[in-house]
Amino acid sequence: MPNTYQADICDLLLEMLKKQRVAPVGELARRLRLPAKEVIAAALKLSESGYDVGIDSNVISLVADVEEKHVRMESDKQDCVRFAIVSDTHFGSKYQQETALNRFYETIAETGIKKVFHAGDMFDGYNVYGKGPLKQIAQLFLHTYDEQIDYVVERYPKIAGVETDLIIGNHCESWITQAGADPCKTWSERRSDIHYLGGRTVTVEWNGITFKLTHPNCKGGKRPENQLYKFSENMVPSGPTFLVQGHFHNVAYIPSRGIHMIQPGAFQGTTPFAQDIGKEPARIGGFIISYSLDNDVERVTADFIRYKEIANDYTRW
């Protein structure tokens, strides 16, 4: 938090959200006696600090009380740990890239990888940015909670022996604020190969590696990779091995401050909304990572597999 005044606002907002969970921005602004833009700024600060705060269609929600969840997974004792990272699949969007995602999972199977981490926004949600011709509702082909859930249960790549562990994202949270249901939780209960870690910032321990998976809800600006540096500021000297940050649809691998920092791209094409706000063209694909540590010698290979965007790919399925 940059100063005491902003920290006090964030604390007050957090206490309100713990009691109410979901509230209109206007109502919170009246109660805090602040302009709406300052309330939204405080909510963004809470999100950047690790709280599961969603900001959708002039509504602010708190998904969980805690700043961060910590998960320990059973290790499989690999000398060289290999895994894949995906993010921002946005199922239900007319711009989803299901062909590329299936090709990526086929590559995973061919290389013998058994673990995939998903950094949020599995679903495209509903009414995330409000109404209008360039807004998110107009970009959907699946408009209800059940439609999006049923589609992903049936269509998300399923390969024997491959498990996907995911966190929630701001688009998924739109269903929590509007329908009172968590789509990631519902989906994971219907697929044995899917494991929901909960929250938008989760620390995972697996095979001697510490991952921090996060899906912030803030703008990336012209250089989204700067959000990696910003998020990792308070992590040294005892930070995670890997920091994986979804949301920005950007590709970056930056070893810095003793942390392997990754923005893993997306499996959604360039939407009209993204064009309207001046975002770079979509970077479609995912990472395959190899990691080993032997006698303090660290070896890391980070390969990003990129695919071309297919126009109207959702109609091919």
pLDDT tens, position by position, 205-236: 999 899 999 998 776 667 888 889 888 877 76
257 has pLDDT over 60: yes
Which residue would you say has higher pLDDT here, 274 or 14? 14
Q: Can you tell me the distance from the alpha carbon of 20 to that of 62, in angstroms, rounded to the nearest whole number? A: 8
- Which residue from 36, 99, 61 is spatially nearest to 267, judged by alpha carbons? 99
Topology of 4-62 in CATH? Answer: Arc Repressor Mutant, subunit A (1.10.10)
Q: Can you tell me the distance from the alpha carbon of 43 to that of 218, in angstroms, rounded to the nearest whole number? A: 10
pLDDT at 175: 92
Q: Worst-scoring range by mean pLDDT, 168-177, 208-217, 234-243? A: 234-243
- Of 64-68, 113-117, 133-137, 277-281, which has the strongest mean pLDDT? 113-117
Band (pLDDT 50/70/90 cuts) for residue 2 is very low
pLDDT at 1: 41
**Average pLDDT, integer, range 10-27:** 87
Q: Are 228 and 243 in contact (CB under 8 A)?
A: yes
Q: Please report the sign of the dihedral spanned by the C-alpha atoms of residue 197, residue 84, residue 105, residue 317.
A: positive
194 has pLDDT over 70: yes
Which residue would you say has higher pLDDT here, 229 or 177? 229
Q: Can you tell me the distance from the alpha carbon of 33 to that of 51, in angstroms, rounded to the nearest whole number? A: 23
Q: Can you tell me the distance from the alpha carbon of 102 to that of 150, in angstroms, rounded to the nearest whole number? A: 18
Where in the chain are the domains? 4-62, 69-316
Band (pLDDT 50/70/90 cuts) for residue 135 is confident
Question: Could you tell me the pTM of the whole model?
Answer: 0.82
pLDDT at 136: 85
69-316 under CATH 3.40.190.80, yes or no: no
pLDDT at 161: 94
132 has pLDDT over 60: no
User: Per-residue pLDDT tens for 31-82?
Assistant: 999 999 999 889 888 876 767 677 765 788 776 554 567 787 877 766 789 9
